[in-house]
Amino acid sequence: MSKPYSRLDINNAAVLLVDHQAGLLSLVRDFDPDRFRNNVLAVADLAAYFQLPTILTTSFEEGPNGPLIPELKEKFPEAPYIARPGQINAWDNPDFVAAVKATGRRQLIIAGVVTEVCVAFPALSAIEEGFEVFAVTDASGTFNEVVRDAAWNRIAAAGVQMMTWFAVACELHRDWRRDVEGLATLLSNHIPDYRNLMTSYAATKGAIPSGKPAA
């Protein structure tokens, strides 16, 4: 049975960035490393651009998982930062859950490493507690495509909506007239082909994006 279309709402969404840690990123093989990092930073940029509450969390930093990638700390210096001492499922950490609930948002946009654990476990836990969950597929990575597909199938069957970061940005934005240059800059900063598109547009409209990172 099909489900009703539930749109992301800029006033009801929060972003959860789970375990994008230096050690864990070395395990990601279902995406090219540079492209994957670009996608993760695109999610960070859209979270900042749309001013969405954002929560950062890591697992067992002192072990081989390593520290959070520095770009995320720099992007969100004031965001809740939950360094979990051992819990594999972020939802098992009471500080993380408290930070999520403190946002007052019921739509959770989640990305993480690795997909079948760091994304799937908290996504399933949040679904069980009545949240709407949107997994950012191209900013979540794992060992290979077989593992990834199994994880996607599992969480989709539970009601998690699967989206790319580009789709998340567009669904939140809703209407180009809201801010043409702002959205175009966000997209152009992470999609070279989109910058070409905007360069062509600028030839007649003078609307080339600045190229500066999204605020």
Per-residue model confidence (pLDDT) at position 213: 47
- State the Cα–Cα distance between residues 69 and 48, nearest whole angstrom: 17
For residues 119-136, give the mean pLDDT. Answer: 98
3-class state of residue 135 by DSSP: strand
Contact 57, 96 (CB under 8 A): yes
- Band (91; pLDDT cuts 50, 70, 90): very high
**Domain contains 7:** no
pLDDT of 25 higher than 80: yes
* Claim to verify: residue 193 and residue 123 sit in the same structural domain: no
What range defines the domain where residue 79 resides? 13-171
* Claim to verify: residue 79 and residue 182 sit in the same structural domain: no
Per-residue model confidence (pLDDT) at position 81: 98
* Claim to verify: residue 167 and residue 78 sit in the same structural domain: yes
Q: Centre a 10 Å sphere on the Cβ of residue 112 and count the other Cβ atoms it contains.
A: 29
**Domain contains 4:** no
Per-residue model confidence (pLDDT) at position 197: 78
Annotated active-site positions, please?
Answer: 118
pLDDT of 162 higher than 50: yes
Question: By percentage, how much of the chain surpasses pLDDT 70?
Answer: 95
How many domains is the chain built from? 2
CA distances from 101 to 12, 123, 132, 176 (A): 12, 14, 13, 31
Q: What is the pTM of this model?
A: 0.93
Q: Centre a 10 Å sphere on the Cβ of residue 134 and count the other Cβ atoms it contains.
A: 23
Contact 116, 152 (CB under 8 A): no
Encoded amino acid at 27, one letter? L
- State the Cα–Cα distance between residues 168 and 108, nearest whole angstrom: 11
For residues 174-192, give the mean pLDDT. Answer: 93
Per-residue model confidence (pLDDT) at position 215: 44
- Band (201; pLDDT cuts 50, 70, 90): confident
pLDDT of 155 higher than 60: yes
**CATH code, 45:** 3.40.50.850
Per-residue model confidence (pLDDT) at position 172: 98
**Domain contains 6:** no
Cβ-proximal residues to 114 (8 Å cutoff; 6+ apart), any chain: 19, 24, 27, 28, 140, 141, 142, 143, 147
